[in-house]
Amino acid sequence: MGTDGSVIFINADNNQYPVEEINAGIDHYDVISWNHNEIKIIVPSIIDSISKNVNSSGFKAVPGTGFFKVRNRYGYVKQSSTELNIPQAILQSVDLNPINDNIHKYSPELKSIEGSGYIVRIGQDVISTYPQAKKVIEKALREWTCVTGIDWKLGPDISTPTDYQDGICQISLYNDASDPVLMGTFGQKKPCGTVFPRQFYQNSFDIRINSAYLYDLDTLGDVDNNKYDFYKAFLHELGHAHILNHANREYQDLMFWSSDKGVIPFVDRLTLKQSPDAQDAGNYVTSNLVGPLSGCTDEHILSYPKFCNRTSSVFDREINEPIIGVYPNPISSSNEINVDLGGILSIGKTTFFVYDSYGREVQIISSSSIGNNLYKIQLEELSSGMYHINVLNDKNKSSVVFMKL
């Protein structure tokens, strides 16, 4: 906003306010109206005017959940009395070559060229350094596809150096112990047409893995001491490839900006299935940003393959995962719901964590099976809406969605 004042948000990349210098808040094209009594803005997913040097993480600031501040042209700053809740963030960019000098922000559409989506290729350096990585990466791609329907597949390995502008989705390594980032995703956006406002699509993305850090590549069991969870970190980067930004509302969400080292018990390991905000954001993208873009790409065709009922150990991928069912779904007058864990075996009780669409925990239920791995659970009075049930026992950690009418 320059000398006219600004709105300053918590930075979702580090849970701190950006340096409160003159350009530390929103940009002028994010403002709808501003007067003495009311400010209307479009909350951006990135504060473009903040230089990379302002943010200690090395990236431009991402507005996050927390108290916000308003600064007037005289430098007076006042903090809000209530927190702003930002559960998810969809990538936005600015058209660097706007038509008629009109600033235009956009979220890129997903690509569909010649009937395909994205073909992801793994660099030979990744395969030689982490022989198990290919199966882990394939499983991560499957998990996103099963949740949101995004069409991306694993293609042949590649040996050429990464080029962010070559239109190839490539996974490669670099080694920099001074870089605090475990992995990074870089997307290539292309414009479509010359009519304002121009539309853009994500032509490709590259994911770089920092091999200076130690990773645990198994997807079951505890994360080993002093190692990072490779599977979680890669799922997170695929979130960026899915046009998502960081979120800071809940530490236990896949798009949270930070990651911990092991030891991490298996029951505490985080995947997309335990991240309702990341699921909602991804499904928003595949519901609203799939094209078609006339003259550029066809509509991105969503895909829910038959393997979506399978998630086995990365080292034993032929084990069938039982289907978790919930019924009745949706529920109306009754608050009793049945959860069928299929072939998941368990010793002792199973715990069910119920979350609303904002990720707030509304109930914890501990129950024993009434037979054949069927559970009857009594819910509290719930308002209408979408809910997630996270299922946790000694053999499984998964989630299922239901609706209350």
pLDDT one-digit tens code per residue, 134-155: 999 999 998 999 889 999 989 9
Query: Would you say residue 41 has pLDDT above 70?
Result: yes
Of 182-191, 340-349, 354-363, the least confident: 340-349
Tokens linked to 151: 């069409």
Please tell me the predicted confidence (pLDDT) of residue 393: 67
Please tell me the predicted confidence (pLDDT) of residue 203: 92
Please tell me the predicted confidence (pLDDT) of residue 51: 54
* 325 vs 262 pLDDT, higher one: 262
Residues facing residue 336 across a β-bridge: 378
- The dotted CATH code for 322-404 is 2.60.40.1220
Tokens linked to 280: 């909602």
Q: Look at the chain and count its residues.
A: 405
Q: At 54, is the pLDDT very low, low, confident or very high (cuts 50, 70, 90)? A: very low
* 50 vs 33 pLDDT, higher one: 33
Tokens linked to 168: 């190839």
Q: At 384, is the pLDDT very low, low, confident or very high (cuts 50, 70, 90)? A: confident
* Cis omega (within 30 of 0) for bond into 197: yes
Please tell me the predicted confidence (pLDDT) of residue 314: 39
The per-residue pLDDT for range 105-133, each reduced to its tens digit, is 888 999 887 667 899 999 999 999 999 99
Judge whether 320 and 308 are in contact, CB under 8 Å: no
Query: Would you say residue 55 has pLDDT above 70?
Result: no
Mean pLDDT of 325-344: 75
Query: Would you say residue 101 has pLDDT above 60?
Result: no
- Could you identify the residue written with the tokens 């001074």? 178
Tell me which DSSP letter residue 79 carries.
E
Q: Reduce the secondary structure of 11-62 to three states and give it as a string.
A: ECCCCECCCCCCCCCCCHHHEEEECCCCEEECCCCCCCCCCCCCCCCCCCCC
Question: Is the pTM here over 0.85, yes or no?
Answer: no
Please tell me the predicted confidence (pLDDT) of residue 388: 78
Most confident of 3-12, 178-187, 263-272: 178-187
Query: Would you say residue 56 has pLDDT above 60?
Result: no
CB atoms within 10 A of CB 267: 12
The CATH class given to the 118-288 domain equals alpha beta
The per-residue pLDDT for range 155-209, each reduced to its tens digit, is 999 988 888 888 899 999 999 999 999 999 999 998 887 777 788 999 999 999 9
Separation CA 358–CA 324 (nearest Å): 22
Please tell me the predicted confidence (pLDDT) of residue 207: 97
Mean pLDDT of 83-107: 79
Q: Per-domain residue ranges for the chain?
A: 2-86, 118-288, 322-404
Q: At 310, is the pLDDT very low, low, confident or very high (cuts 50, 70, 90)? A: very low
Q: At 50, is the pLDDT very low, low, confident or very high (cuts 50, 70, 90)? A: low
Please tell me the predicted confidence (pLDDT) of residue 321: 43
* 5 vs 348 pLDDT, higher one: 5
Please tell me the predicted confidence (pLDDT) of residue 395: 56
Q: Which of 57, 54, 31 is nearest to 44 (CA)?
A: 31
